[in-house]
Amino acid sequence: MADNNRTSTRSFRERRTIDYIPASERHGTLASQFTLWLGANLQITAIVTGALAVVLGGDVFWSLIGLLIGQLLGGAVMALHGAQGPRLGLPQMISSRVQFGVYGAIVPLVLVCMMYVGFSASGAVLAGQAISALFGVDNAVGILIFTAIVVVLTVLGYRTIHTLGRVTSVVGVLAFIYMFVKLMAGHDVGALLAIRQFSLANFLLAMSLSASWQIAYGPYVADYSRYLPRTTSARKTFWAVGLGSVIGSQASMVFGVFAAALAGKQFSGHEVAFVVGLGASGAAASLLYFAIALGKLTVTTLNAYGSVMSIATIVTSVGGRKQISGRARLFFILAMVVCVAWLALAGRHAFLKEFSAFILFLLAFFTPWSAINLVDFYCVTKERYDVPALYDPNGRYGQWNVPGVVIYAIGVLVQMPFISTSFYTGPLVDRLGGTDISWIIGLVVPGLLYYVIAKQRTAHIPDRLILPDDGSVAAAPEWETASLSDVRRDTVR
């Protein structure tokens, strides 16, 4: 068995799916977490998301402030999920079996899969525009080229994704420095910042855009930190993941705000061409198109890889299996990417409007899940999970945790009166001046409800974290203490 572990550790192609990562296979550094999330956010979809704050009515100054506040709030939620990875050694969504039951966790998992497909399809549209301009092919051909590369990278898995993140972060930083320099030199940015017409509705819209961007990473962020050594500091993991994501996305969204303010109606439908046209022409433009395609490649590969983890969690729920076969893994990757390609080809001509509605409505389904998962992990169980029991429908966590599922449903429903999107507007939105505060309701209400009820139902909580490879050793929670390595050093002294 040990030989097999060493072989899989050295293998360029990842072998594991949703099974626990043992200590012998843990590797990586916090620097790779920072570069992965920095590179994943220095990309065109984040630019478009920032642009929406202006396209949908906000001014430049208050849009930038609103985006930053939402970024910090949503980024904290996202990074708290990421800090779970080293402690549990599991993909993010399988831990939902603690809160919802082995079968009950399928409910948010299905919605997560829809999220992966939606984000990937919207990203494929923009990447297709970049590849089309770079190689002189039709947008549809660009989309197909892009999705084919995604399949290859997703099959290779975890190590390849982190390597891609390091490359993308370097390319992205250089590209954005160049674009910001060109933007500042060629336009009167100060004049845009001087126009300050505060609107609470538009300000909260900007907050919602960036908060939803960050929170939407929550269902898979731990997928990319689960190989870190378990002694990795939770605080440091939080900051490495959170800072990478917040810095990258805020830089992109700031550029998007200025781009949309300068472009006006020219922006919609020609996002990639306009962004590149602001900063370069000729060879420099080709390099920027390449940077845009590379940035989308990173985050879309994250989505495809995360979809495999989620689908594997769904299909292994029945029967208590711990992983899926290599063929099944490949099949799920292909099925997801084919669906993405079809949606991207079908919707490439009306992207911006549909994407804005999608990203805002998405919050209603993922803020309650985030609230429940984080409250359980940090406040109720305090990291004391029984990892082997997560794979047993008849074990400690059962098939259905009815209170968890009901609270999740309540968390979704209480947001409906406050949601404001192009295809659905809640009845209380007009009374609030058109302000969408649904994501705040979706974090607070289910989080409080779950805490009150779960604190009264603690029979399923073990007295320590139980892991498959060291179940006899008590693993102390680390979040509010020193790292385990620090504890050991202090003990020796």
* Residue 11 counted as domain residue: no
Q: Is the pLDDT of residue 10 over 70?
A: no
Give the span between the Cα atoms of 53 and 60, in whole angstroms: 8
* Residue 144 counted as domain residue: yes
CATH number at residue 254: 1.10.4160.10
* Residue 1 counted as domain residue: no
Give pTM, 2 decimals.
0.87
pLDDT tens per residue across span 191-249: 888 888 898 888 988 998 899 899 989 999 999 999 999 999 999 999 999 999 999 99
What letter would DSSP give residue 420?
B
Give the span between the Cα atoms of 50 and 28, in whole angstroms: 32
The tally of domains found in the chain comes to 1
Four-CA torsion 282, 190, 201, 372, nearest 10 degrees: 70
Q: Is 325 left (phi over 0), alpha (psi -120 to 50) or beta?
A: beta
* Residue 94 counted as domain residue: yes
* Residue 6 counted as domain residue: no
CA distances from 143 to 128, 248, 265, 342 (A): 4, 24, 25, 10
pLDDT of residue 30: 96
pLDDT band for position 166 (cuts 50, 70, 90): very high
* Residue 212 counted as domain residue: yes
* Residue 12 counted as domain residue: no
3-state SS track over 161-214 = HHHHHHHHHHHHHHHHHHHHHHHHHHCCHHHHHHCCCCCHHHHHHHHHHHHHHH
Instruction: Provide the residue range defining the domain that includes 255.
Output: 27-492
pLDDT tens per residue across span 175-196: 999 888 888 887 788 888 888 8
pLDDT tens per residue across span 414-450: 999 988 877 788 898 888 777 778 889 999 999 999 9
CA distances from 218 to 214, 275, 337, 343 (A): 7, 28, 21, 23
* Residue 48 counted as domain residue: yes
User: Position of tokens 């097999």?
Assistant: 4
